[in-house]
Amino acid sequence: MSTTNPPSTRDVMEQILSATSDLTGLVNPFAAPVGPAAIVIFGAAGDLTKRKLLPSLYNLAAANLLSDKIAIVGVARADMDRETYRAKLEEDMRQYATSGTVDPKVIEFLSKRTYYLSGNFENADTFARLSTLLATVEREQGTRGNVLYYLSTAPNYFSIIADQLAAIGLTRETDGAWRRLIVEKPFGTDLESARMLNQQLRRTLREDQIYRIDHYLGKETVQNIMVFRFGNGMFEPIWNRQYIDNVQITVAESLGVESRGGYYDGSGALRDMIPNHLLQLLTLVAMEPPTSFEAEAVREEKAKVLRAITPMTPEKVLSNAVRGQYDEGMCGGKPAPAYRAEEKVPRNSGTETYAALKLAVDNWRWADVPFYLRTGKRMAKRVSEIAIQFRRPPQLLFRNTPVEHLSRNVLLIRVQPDEGISLRFGAKIPGPTVRMGNVAMEFKYKDAFGSTVTTGYETLIYDCIKGDPTLYQRADMVEMGWAIVNPVQEVWRALPPRTFPNYDAGSWGPDEADEMLKRDGRTWRRIED
């Protein structure tokens, strides 16, 4: 019988500290620079690269978490030479730096290790030239044949690029070198397309070479959920159906679709946010304690949660799923146009900009505890949070006092902005009579650990180079996420919306979402601060 050594105390401490430290501020004392590697970015001239990936690499370099044997290889259709791309890289890093200022030495460190290749992703010659360039990079920068391929491209290129890389041997691992592929979202558009993409990628790559990214899992507060739950003895004993009444997960944006109307109208709020971001947050809240912080132990517990979510019948979709589309209104004190008036959006569009679901996790811990998920654009404010609402205590003790109604205790995990955790509870208002008011104990990241801003991609890139897939999704997890929303997609396709637009810009969504909770005797948490 084979045995596996348990993680050492140092291993566990490194996991905990890496989840709570700021890569560009408080540097983890146990963290070491990653090993040699070439980072090949397909779509290197695109928006994601300049706004997120390059600032992330800058932050990693500034925190001394990149090897001096690292290289960046940009691949895109834009016709430019290496020096032109280097100048663009330096300009983008200065413009989109998360700290507002940059260290010229860090930019120089990355710039002199940067290369560029112009080519079409469907052309085999592009990959032949890439193979030659990677040999040069290995010789000049000492990358030892290790390559991370980052697909920062449109989804229709994911399998094409993987096939082209494999055809020329660029995914083959020899002489101890590794080859890994990061796939950006969206990973499919429904269950069938996600299954097909998984099959296409696994034609040429092993599962352990595929890293399906969800940048929400790179956010410090999200990573801290496991540490908060399993590293503190006071919370886990009450983290169950006996004490918790319901869980509300909100990801709201105050912005509209801006210039992305053409893309967004083919996607919508449900597809864009729930199978990935919101379900990932749900799994971290609902998972059982893993046997260790090893990647497969953590991912298996998250997968168990997805398997336990009760599938929705078409009848349940009608009562437990709500969609909405924003009308004109006021956001941040300024007039905001209706969705159908946005650029590149059809004037009769039936695409939802708001989606809310009621889900049930059918296991021992969570039986009869509803999980309410909502996400939308042009909401009253930008906020991502998880609200754990506890059961009310018996009213008997207060029957002869002016206290008419005991409010619920709420544990609030704020993902963005103002990342932190707060516990809301009742306390007696000073005076001769028994009156209760709500108070809060607050923890804010910026107060405890500084206010350095990251992109959310730093940890994910760092982990991929290390070969740690803990924060990445497995193939089965992606497919289970789509399976959960698949019945909703089918019903919404069959029944076009008749009431769109049905909520004002600057509000908290359509009345139907309030009615969904009202039927259960509950309300959405009022988000005021």
pLDDT digits (tens, 9 = 90+) for 463-488: 999 999 999 999 999 999 999 999 99
H helix or E strand, kind and range, residue 421 = strand 420-428
Selection from 277, 135, 174 nearest residue 218 by Cα: 277
Across the chain, what does the average pLDDT equal? 88
Active site residue 405: no
Distance CA 40, CA 72 (A): 6
Least confident of 135-139, 196-200, 289-293: 289-293
Tell me whether the omega of the peptide bond preceding residue 370 falls within 30 degrees of 0, making it cis.
no
Task: Name the catalytic one among 179, 180, 185, 277.
Answer: 277
pLDDT of residue 406: 58
340 or 435, higher pLDDT: 340
Q: What percent of the chain has pLDDT over 70?
A: 88
pLDDT of residue 446: 67
Distance CA 149, CA 40 (A): 5
Distance CA 21, CA 28 (A): 6
Distance CA 44, CA 83 (A): 14
Domains and CATH numbers, the chain: 33-184 (3.40.50.720), 218-518 (3.30.360.10)
Q: What percent of the chain has pLDDT over 90?
A: 70
Whether residue 25 has pLDDT greater than 90 = no
HSE-CB for 487 with a 13 A CA cutoff:
18
> How is residue 434 written in tokens?
């028994």
Helix (H, G, I), strand (E, B) or coil at 10: helix
Whether residue 15 has pLDDT greater than 70 = no
404 or 351, higher pLDDT: 351
